[in-house]
Amino acid sequence: MSGLVLKRLKDKDLIEFKSPEARVLERITDAVLTDLKAEEGLDREVEELLKSHTGAIDSQRMDYRKMFSMIKTKLARERGIVL
């Protein structure tokens, strides 16, 4: 994925290298992995929150996926995580 991003930036002449291309690719990859790990951690946290409220969710017939999405979006916004 990172390679594709870099290729498209190069193909459209949207990037000027001040560092070796391999280093730029490494930095893009690091940024993507960092974001994915942050989202993964957020998912785990939302799952734990919902587990602790399973009874209320079941008794009120709430949609788990919808609740998951709403909570994840709210926490991401609060923490400055871009999804």
When pLDDT is cut at 50, 70 and 90, the band that residue 64 belongs to is confident
Q: Quick check: 2 and 25 in contact, CB under 8 A? A: yes
pTM above threshold 0.85: no
**pLDDT tens, residue by residue, 29-62:** 999 999 999 999 999 999 999 999 888 877 788 8
- As a whole number of angstroms, the distance between CA 22 and CA 79 comes to 31
Q: How confident is the model at residue 73 (pLDDT cuts 50, 70, 90)?
A: very high
Q: What is the pLDDT of residues 13-37, one digit of tens each?
A: 999 999 999 999 999 999 999 999 9
CA–CA separation, 75 and 69 (whole Å): 10
